[in-house]
Structure 1
Amino acid sequence: MATTAPATTHRLPAVRDLLRSNGLWLWLIVAAGSTLRLQQFIFNRSFWHDETLLATAFVDRGFAQLVFEPLANNQAAPVGYLVLVKLVTVLLGTHEWTLRLVSLLSGLATLPLALAVARLSFSSFVARATLVGLVAVSPVLVYYSTEFKQYQGDVLGTLLILWLTLRFRPDHCREDAFWLALAGAIGIWCSHAIDFVLAGSGLALWLEMARRRDRRAWLAVNAVGLVWLVSFVADYLVALRSVPHNAYLAGFWATSFAPIPPTTLADLHWFREAALGLVYLGFLQMGTAFREVLPGWFSGPVHALLALTVLGSVALAFQRVRAAAMGAITLMTVLGASALHQYPFRARLILFLVPFVFLALAALVQQLHELPLRRAAPWLAAGLAAGVLWMPLRLSLHVVRHPHNYQDIRGALQYIADHRQPGDHAMLGSWTYPAYSFYAPRTGLADLPRFVYQPTINEVHNIRSTVRRICQDPASGRTWVLATNQIVANNRAFLEALSSLSPPLQTVPLEGGALFLHDFRPTGYCQRYRSTFPPAGR
């Protein structure tokens, strides 16, 4: 009687082959990056200040208003992005997660695109894994995949145009030019930053085709550029022309414009600062990337990463001239626009440049892998890859345990809703008011009276004048003071002024701030301004 071998013995070689498959491990990295983004998205943190400014300017507008009218609250966002978000909210309702869904999908789409770019750019698994891994675990890319802002779409646009540029083939120029033209023309409406990437792509291809003397491919590139130009002019006339003339935005980013030509040592220091800030942004930035210069930019690891990025850029120029030329021209274009005060070179506005930093470091890993050291070269390459991946991975793993919740205004208002008494009211600063106005109706506090003050350098005056208004209102009862993290962490004068008038009855710590319950009615200060004093237990 014939016997058959167990099926498991036949499967074992197949399983071993699968585990040895480089493609499998690259897709596992993609899956890990997707998990990081989904985990932060599902946590559904409260909107912070800038998100609520955009949300309050967005939610009550129709499609035509979003396209043709400037946003309120000094907000600027591409009309394509706004239209996509509006479509989502029309279909699924207006919630934090629907407003952030386009950013999440952009963040998820960057991962397979990074894999596609890696496969076109590098031959070794370790270099490919470096690029895909950096995109997957970069804390700032994970964060902006879950923020109601357009910056993750900028990164997606960079990777898409980079991939289409790298795969452009002169012998298939018509087909490749079509997709490049289409992606760029649509991208212009969905990203302000993609204009610089398109300049890098178009000029790099134009110069290459001219050098090759390939007239057919050169004409195809010219046609692509013409399509992009028409799309840009239309976007500018419809929506973009008001943005560079916004005086508030120009003043807000005043220190972020490139001093070209540099004439002083301070100007030269600006470029060093900007380079370190870009590297820090890609590797170590946690949460929102503010415009301020951070002490962490000047640390030893960031200087080392910048040096490796410069070396990697040189390596990329030898390995993939087209990619290196595209990155260099993109950088020069955005610096030129910054010198003309048309585009700030700082923080979240240059997030779209981060993939070029990662590409340079992956090129350096590839260069080490190709060294004529048969045994040492793979280990050197793997060591560098592990080193540059560990820093962002460590921070992203921390966020898995402690998701971002920069200002938990929603949690604070929900606590008030659960513990309010008749006569209660809220006291908050004007910077906190946009978030309050967005969340109050959603937490059942639309009817809660509020006293809003304008923060100045004299916090004692702010507090006393606001409490005076509270005391002069005969209907006012207890006061819920909503303080965000800037006040709790950095402004002791605010808290001391409150406590000097009335010690808090209750303190509720929150992510990104605190909630204080006060009753100013029995205080001597309040009685001076209140002719009729209701019972304290009201």
Structure 2
Amino acid sequence: MPSISTTLAVWVFLVLGIVLRLWHYLDARSLFIDEANLALNVSELPYEDFFRPLLYDQYAPPLFMVLSKVAVQLLGNHEWALRLLPLIGGGLLLFAFCHLNKKLKLTPAIQWFPIAMLALSPFLLRFATELKQYSTDAALALGFILLALQLPPERMKNRHFWMWATAGGLSLWFSMPAAFVLAGVGAYYFYGFLRQRNGKGLFCLSLAGAVWMLSFSALYITVLKAGTEQEVLVNYHAAYFFPVQLLKAAAWQQLGGIFYGLLSPVLGFTVAGLIIGISLLLWGSYRLFQQGPGLFILIAVPILACFAASAFQLFSLIPRVSLFLMPLFLLLAAYGASEAWKSSGFYVRMALLALLILEAAPFVNSLNRLGNSTEIENLKAVLAGIKAKDKAGPAYIDNMAVPAYRYYSEWHSQKQLYRLPGEVLLSWDSNLEEILEGQRQADGGFWLVFSQLISDGARSRKDEKRAVAEKLAREKMRVEKIGAAGYWYGYFGMKE
């Protein structure tokens, strides 16, 4: 039985995780480029168009888009409505994870560890409040694993097969990684029925599997196929496909980068934390395979199926897209820690406890976000600041800022606060010098507006465009916020 202190620790971390997610949600940070492109799809498209490839090189499951649009139509077009579904997914993920911890029967001294890592992970906090399907993917994955454990093979009745067929078929339209989770569910029941020599169960399972396959085929033809054929998207994700030429050194370097991206958000960003976490994950996998092969299949098959699809370049292992795998890795590591605790003496246990605290300690920094801004690229503040300056001349919106600017100026419920007079939306191939030269006689000055300034490369491109502007004009004013900026230039020889 867990002690009062253990139960209290679990609840403290669970509550902290919920409070942090609510703070990130209520802070309503500016949408970044991918969110903005998805928000434009939500705002511009009718419901039926969510069941075909989306605009602006975006992918999101059709039913996720449907529910997002329902939220916008009921609550208004703003960040809170757009991010409501991811917030719910992030909360459900925490509770489902707690229930799975109980199913694993972790030793009480270890139970706080996986909850703390999941609740405080900066990566999971961000994507629990971002207009993307990643938190709902993870919540659905754990929900299906819990449902399978609640209905083990020996308890399955005809109605349960119908339930699985329906729920599984629908889930694919709500979460693409559900395909991998259903592979695990199918393997779990197949293993159980095979051990029981339950021919009827195997037959019913095959019928449910056929429904899943038909549903996935329809999804692939109508929505997914177009994405796999876009060379731009394939090239973008090339570094995140599971390498198959493992005899080459570059493949192992690529594999190391992939696993760092998948494991560090839940096992720690430090070298020591990762070494500890990976060791526990491997030990936990081995022990769970020995002691609970059915549960091991349920957790491991989705991981292996995902890797196999990635090897065929059908699924990207970029961390945010594969976020649903992270709680599974953490479960295995927690099981490894629990097994190590059970088989150790006092001094080894104290050392293990110290190592777990060391692994979790960096994540405590997430608490510093409470009461502070969660902005990543604060375009809203830049646009409001530019309007407050009331300077004449057109505003040239850099191509990387165009999606967010379009959403805020055309669709946001407070669009009047963000729409700039004389806006000019630049594309990736716009000749800025030629455009500015053409405006020289018409205006005394102009704004350059940038967003997504979150990398050295993006800031270098901003500096290049500012250098072009400075051939013709002098900077007179600036509005700079985190990840976004606006600069007003007066033409040489012109009156302000």
TM-score, normalised via structure 1 length: 0.83
1:336 matched residue in structure 2? 308
Superposition CA RMSD, Å:
2.8
2:390 matched residue in structure 1? 420
Please state whether the residue corresponding to 2:156 is helix, strand or coil.
helix
Please state whether the residue corresponding to 1:482 is helix, strand or coil.
strand
Please state whether the residue corresponding to 1:506 is helix, strand or coil.
strand
Which of 233, 246, 257 does residue 230 from structure 2 map onto? Answer: 246
1:116 matched residue in structure 2? 99
Q: Specify the code of the residue in structure 1 equivalent to 2:399.
A: S
1:467 matched residue in structure 2? 436
Q: CA deviation at 1:462?
A: 5.0
Please state whether the residue corresponding to 2:126 is helix, strand or coil.
helix
1:225 matched residue in structure 2? 209
Deviations 1:170-201 (A, max 9, x none): 33112655554444233211111121121122
Q: Specify the code of the residue in structure 1 equivalent to 2:225.
A: R
Question: How many Å separate the matches in 1 of 2:11 and 2:217?
Answer: 39
Q: CA deviation at 1:323?
A: 3.0
Which of 400, 406, 424 does residue 451 from structure 1 map onto? Answer: 424
2:335 matched residue in structure 1? 363
Q: Structure 1 residues 389 and 266, CA, compared in 2 at 3 Å: closer, same or farther?
A: same
2:192 matched residue in structure 1? 208
CA contact (8 A) 1:126 1:385 kept: no
Please state whether the residue corresponding to 1:343 is helix, strand or coil.
coil
Q: CA deviation at 1:261?
A: 4.7
Which of 505, 508, 513 does residue 484 from structure 2 map onto? Answer: 513
CA contact (8 A) 2:121 2:266 kept: yes
- Is 1:144–2:127 an aligned residue pair? yes
Deviations 1:100-124 (A, max 9, x none): 1101111111111111111111242
Comparing 31-40 with 226-235, which one deviates more in the overlay?
A: 226-235
User: How much identity, in percent, do the aligned residues show?
Assistant: 23
Please state whether the residue corresponding to 1:391 is helix, strand or coil.
helix
- Is 1:39–2:23 an aligned residue pair? yes
Comparing 396-405 with 88-97, which one deviates more in the overlay?
A: 396-405
- Is 1:134–2:117 an aligned residue pair? yes
Question: How many Å separate the matches in 2 of 1:184 and 1:205?
Answer: 14
TM-score, normalised via structure 2 length: 0.89
- Is 1:274–2:276 an aligned residue pair? no
Please state whether the residue corresponding to 1:508 is helix, strand or coil.
strand
CA contact (8 A) 1:258 1:335 kept: yes
Spell out structure 1 runs of 4+ moving beyond 6 A. Answer: none
- Is 1:393–2:360 an aligned residue pair? no
1:406 matched residue in structure 2? 376
1:481 matched residue in structure 2? 448
Question: How many Å separate the matches in 2 of 1:328 and 1:170?
Answer: 18
Deviations 1:466-501 (A, max 9, x none): 3213315x2x34322212315774354444444454
CA contact (8 A) 2:37 2:58 kept: yes
Please state whether the residue corresponding to 1:349 is helix, strand or coil.
coil
Q: CA deviation at 1:74?
A: 0.8
Q: Structure 1 residues 203 and 211, CA, compared in 2 at 3 Å: closer, same or farther?
A: same
Please state whether the residue corresponding to 2:84 is helix, strand or coil.
helix
Q: Specify the code of the residue in structure 2 equivalent to 1:100.
A: R
CA contact (8 A) 1:413 1:439 kept: no
Deviations 1:315-358 (A, max 9, x none): 33234322322333222212221222211222211111101111
Q: CA deviation at 1:228?
A: 2.2
2:153 matched residue in structure 1? 170
Q: CA deviation at 1:135?
A: 1.9
1:51 matched residue in structure 2? 35
Question: How many Å separate the matches in 1 of 2:207 and 2:2?
Answer: 44
1:323 matched residue in structure 2? 295
* Higher radius of gyration, 1 or 2: 1
Question: How many Å separate the matches in 2 of 1:177 and 1:384?
Answer: 44
Q: CA deviation at 1:380?
A: 4.3
Question: How many Å separate the matches in 2 of 1:212 and 1:135?
Answer: 36
Q: Structure 1 residues 370 and 308, CA, compared in 2 at 3 Å: closer, same or farther?
A: closer
Q: Structure 1 residues 25 and 178, CA, compared in 2 at 3 Å: closer, same or farther?
A: farther
CA contact (8 A) 1:113 1:159 kept: yes
Which of 286, 303, 312 does residue 314 from structure 1 map onto? Answer: 286
1:290 matched residue in structure 2? none
CA contact (8 A) 2:477 2:489 kept: yes
Q: Specify the code of the residue in structure 2 equivalent to 1:509.
A: E
- How many residue pairs get matched? 487
